[in-house]
Amino acid sequence: MNVKISRWKIHMVAVACIITGCASQQERAERRALQQQAVQTAIDQRQLRIDITSMNTLRYGTKTVTPDFFLELRGDTLNSYLPYMGRAYQAPLSSPAQGLNFTQRVESLNVSTPKAHLTCFDIDVRTKEDLYHYRIEVYDTGSALVRVRSANRDPVSFDGRVDVNQ
């Protein structure tokens, strides 16, 4: 009799685990759907803030960055607060340690969706020092890739996440 009761208990525990696992999968799916909806809303309104997690440089490889770096697109204005490591072919007017830090009106903006779950922004910005081309790839999961080309500097890219709680 003891053997049957313990087997019965094992089966009940297994069923409970399966039910709990399904509930947590459903909760994860709901959170994922809410995240995707928030990211799509930010894309549609052109109100994006991308928190940067790492940078990929031409000469120095991949570097993890502190969590205070970001890139913001607010309508027709780009707010770039990004680190930079690489070679500058022309001396910048400000300190080279300043990085890619500016708030500037966008000269041109092109939005495309080359494949499902991916939206790309091609942005050209001119500052006193340089002409920059930003390619921002945003996935509906919230992950983002930012590539920056410049007329006078080595290219650099950044990995990050869309901040939907802004």
DSSP readout, 107-160?
Answer: SEEEEEEEETTEEEEEEEEE-SS-EEEEEEEEETTSEEEEEEEESSB--EEEEE
Q: What is the pLDDT of residue 4?
A: 52
User: In this structure, which long-range contacts are made by residues 144-147, counting pairs with CB atoms below 8 Å and at least 24 apart in sequence?
Assistant: 144/50, 146/50, 146/52, 146/71, 146/82
Q: What is the pLDDT of residue 31?
A: 85
The CATH code for residues 38-162 is: 2.40.128.410
Q: What is the pLDDT of residue 129?
A: 83
Tens of pLDDT, residue by residue, the chain (166 residues): 445 556 666 666 666 656 555 558 888 888 888 888 988 999 999 999 999 999 998 888 889 898 899 999 999 999 999 998 888 777 665 555 578 999 999 999 999 999 989 999 999 999 888 899 999 999 999 999 999 999 888 899 999 999 987 6
Q: What is the pLDDT of residue 52?
A: 96
Q: How far is it, in rounded angstroms, from Cα 75 to Cα 24?
A: 37
Going 60 to 89 to 155 to 157, the CA torsion angle's sign is: positive
- Phi-psi category of 86—alpha, beta or left, where left has phi over 0 and alpha has psi -120 to 50? left
Write phi, then psi, for 77 (nearest 5 degrees). Answer: -125, 135
Q: What is the pLDDT of residue 99?
A: 81
- Contact (CB, 8 A) for 107 and 125: yes
Residue ranges covered by each domain of the chain: 38-162
Q: What is the pLDDT of residue 148?
A: 96
Vertex 53, ends 134 and 144: CA angle to 5°? Answer: 45
